[in-house]
Amino acid sequence: MYALIDCNCFYVSCERVFRPDLRQQPVVVLSNNDGCVISRSDEAKAIGVKMGEPFFKMKELVRNGKVTAFSSNYTLYGDLSDRVMKTLASIVPDIEVYSIDEAFLHLNESHTDLETLGHTIRNTVKQHTGIPVGVGIAPTKTLAKLANRLSKKTGGVHIIYPDNIQEKLNACALQDVWGIGRRNAKRLQANYVDTIEQFVNQREEWVRQHFSVIGLRTYKELKGIPCIDMEDELTEKKSICTSRSFGELQNTFASIQEAIATHAASCAEKLRKQKCAAAGMYVSLSKSRFTDQEGDKYFGTYIKLPQATNNTATLIQYASKGLELLFKKDVYYKKCGVTVIDIVPEEKIQLNLFEPQKNARLHALEDTIDKLNQKLGKNVLRQAIQGNDNNTWKLRCENMSPNYTTRIGEILVVHVGNK
């Protein structure tokens, strides 16, 4: 049996952990640059706030105190996600972290009382982290996804047993099935298949003829035949991209270079965390689609590095060269990014006779900087070319909550008794 654990309204739930006064209140979390709604509480849904709704359309609700809005605080969300996953692993060690707010658990023969286990998972995660979760348990990962969706209507835990699969199939819409979605649902409906039950009642040859291997795998999983194995380890990334829209349009080389340097430094840190290095990079710039500037709106350049590296200074140096090739005066830019590609493990770097090799002291320095930034806050220690915190290119985040769990100066202070 498999269990899918899904955090309820995860970003909103993270904010409410440290703001208990907002429980039962309409709350939303906004995308980068405070653009649109990417997470909303049930109370926000009830008053008509839609997913993806532009923030400017609901500013009046925020001003009137009817909705509380937060800027995205991914540092906080990532740390709380890590705590949730560690709590789950302490209950069921065989875990696959599927996303920032979802994880699969592989249950073995010792887990006999599944109902009790489901409520134990919910209560333990809530007690340890403050995050509410839903638990779906079923014979396959696809059915566990389906069970998790049904758990929202059954007190947070829902179990699909092997002998009651058939009666659960039509409890959800065809497009809600993991591996089908809206696009494939339309294809099925064009062939007069409108429900999950109708889909699983098709012949296997028909499914193989009309859909890919993924479709056939979904078909078998819905029948209770496990086809999707647990992934014990995260696969190494083949490319790493860091890009952001500017808080306001930029037209000076210096300000955009600070942004490019910051993105390159972020890529370098991620490479070191993965114990890999990159042999190439792609630097990109974008103009706003909503201006009358002529020419292409998006353009970039590929740079081949002399040797694969994860050194911050080296990646910043070549990213800046890429920017020099792209930047044009009197043009207003909306976004920039750095993507490192041609990634290889550190131990497989092809050395270059004419390039200096990273020595032990430089490696120790980078390791120390990474640890200090992890402990004290992102970019507390940085290259001078990255500028300071008062940059006009920084994202708009006027409603950002403190980093309660990762920055020592922002930890909650609780006063007990008289001050």
**Does 170 lie in the same domain as 127?**
yes
Please indicate, yes or no, if residue 6 is contained in any of the structural domains: no
Residues making up the chain, counted from first to last: 419
Please indicate, yes or no, if residue 317 is contained in any of the structural domains: yes
**Phi, psi at 41, each rounded to 5°:** -80, 165
Question: Which is more confidently placed, 400 or 361?
Answer: 400
Domain C-terminal end among 223, 248, 280: 223
Please indicate, yes or no, if residue 298 is contained in any of the structural domains: yes
**Does 244 lie in the same domain as 216?**
no
Domain C-terminal end among 191, 223, 255: 223
**Does 211 lie in the same domain as 258?**
no
**Phi, psi at 240, each rounded to 5°:** -130, 125
Q: What is the mean pLDDT of residues 99-115?
A: 90
Confidence of residue 13 (pLDDT cuts 50, 70, 90): very high
Residues of the chain above pLDDT 90, percent: 42
**Does 249 lie in the same domain as 196?**
no
Please indicate, yes or no, if residue 144 is contained in any of the structural domains: yes
Please indicate, yes or no, if residue 350 is contained in any of the structural domains: yes
Please indicate, yes or no, if residue 100 is contained in any of the structural domains: yes
Checking if the pLDDT of 86 tops 90, the result is: yes
**Does 376 lie in the same domain as 316?**
yes
Digit-coded pLDDT (tens) for 151-206? 988 889 999 998 888 888 888 888 888 888 888 888 888 888 888 888 888 888 88
**Does 200 lie in the same domain as 167?**
yes
Digit-coded pLDDT (tens) for 265-287? 999 999 998 889 999 999 999 98
Tally of domains within the chain? 2
**Does 252 lie in the same domain as 216?**
no
Contact 408, 261 (CB under 8 A): no
Domain C-terminal end among 223, 253, 272: 223
Q: What is the pTM of this model?
A: 0.78
How far apart, in whole angstroms, are the C-alpha atoms of residue 397 and residue 36? 12
Identify the pLDDT of residue 355.
Answer: 61
Please indicate, yes or no, if residue 51 is contained in any of the structural domains: no
Domain that holds residue 267: 240-386
Identify the pLDDT of residue 141.
Answer: 92
Confidence of residue 235 (pLDDT cuts 50, 70, 90): low
Checking if the pLDDT of 383 tops 80, the result is: yes
Domain containing residue 147: CATH number: 3.30.70.270
> What is the token pair recorded at 206?
């028909």
